[in-house]
Structure 1
């Protein structure tokens, strides 16, 4: 199986010996990978939990233990919007991932072999429960704030629902209380690309026969939804970068861009983890807590303050889904600020547009 890529500063929290999953199945001896940034206060009242999107690891920012830039380097660190001179930040690699947390590439203690597709069905709620266990493993009983972006925003909502006393406030960025048909369809195509690669071999692929073609296609499909058509036009237009090396091969600059960035990703990620995590997003529906009423489920979440941010060019988690989160939390009594930001960068604007996303996050945290 694929070798796990674990950043140098990553640590591990053991989950309860018998960790029950929402959809059935139990993990034994599972763990969650995490990194911490900044120092906890004497009373532990400055702890922020950061929950990630589908693919990031726990290395959100550089640190003395690992000076390599993290995936949210522009947002997190001393003097930055999530100021680690003030906040003690815990970032976890999602359960089911492949960067240290127990997932399909991990060894099943019952067999000594990798789980592969025998890994139990994974839900967003399982990811939330594992993150909550990690917080308590580290000795904290309450968070000042839980921050979640994209899939991490879903995980944060599940955490607030299942562990109602754990967090006093919430920052929701480009998130949703459930998946829409469009995003389900896109992820279905990504999974089909992986499963259609003969090297995937029903999940039993070998490291030397990694299903690269399927993963490349899946990643490229995802990347076309992470940014907006407006940005593609502005950045690439109809620029050509070559005539292509084969019939119908890459010719336009945007094609070379997709290929370059997809190749940087694929061999660092387990295809089976990609399948499990993407399906967990499809399944997630906070409204299940209240007979299908998303509004009522959101109103039941108990936070004092919340910041909900989205952008009008996000096609994967459209802006009206962030507005739904804000309205629901407000109906439950929370003091909510909702921001519809103008950015050409689409769903991934929270990673690439610090000028838009950084100041409101910093301002919100300063009020806690």
Structure 2
């Protein structure tokens, strides 16, 4: 294996290290970086780069010349404007520890919802975007392909993803606890992306009958609404639907608030309204949660349902860690067999 493989690192923030307030600000910076991914590799220090941005993490994976760890870290912090946040908001892993982190991300073991399938697709799309931008070469190409294959193996050989678990599904479960049932509730879904699709899939399981779907691209709202025999709503007509809605589940990719307090508090609405904001950056003005009769959740408040999911998948997570250990050894055993035992120790230390 080329020695440059060890000059691989990841700088990032996640739900484990930073609040949603911090993550959404970094995500905004990240959206700009996605458009100029090649710019990262025009930095003198960075040879390869890939950005992974989801509702729960923002990470930059890089390959660079040996011996320049500190310089690369500082430069990335400057680009992402991370120095304005507390040190504990982010993390920096290099070499084998970075590879281990990548494999655990791909396998959903580092996800807020262990066992969710979305992260593997998100990682694959990030890889393809970077490849199209010409910012991936041998190091990231090999490691990303290996990470994706490891993630697939984990899902095939363990039951970690049984039940099609997702953040959207857990959000609906949390709402159900507040309302007992969904059959007689009128539900508005804002957004028509991947998270909204997982919400719709679970609502079908729960026989939700009255569902509205709104999206900036109206045709996408129509497609998603049809899956539930629901009704599509044009984006500029959302406010007109609010008086009849019991539940709002929002997950757009907007760079600004979709519902603002100054407008929202003037609208007629039901005495009890539950809103779950699944977006990062947030769609819903946090101030709306302080209005009478409104209960507002964000993605960091999944709490109890996430813990319940973790306990159910603990045994399968252990099996997944064992697979990652095997795959890590394969990566490093071709030309560096002496490092295999250290890798095993590293994986076992991460599990603890």
Shared fold (TM-score, shorter chain, > 0.5): no
Which bin holds the TM-score, normalised by the shorter protein? Answer: under 0.3
Whichever structure has more helix as a proportion of its residues is: 2
TM-score by length of 2: 0.26
TM-score by length of 1: 0.25
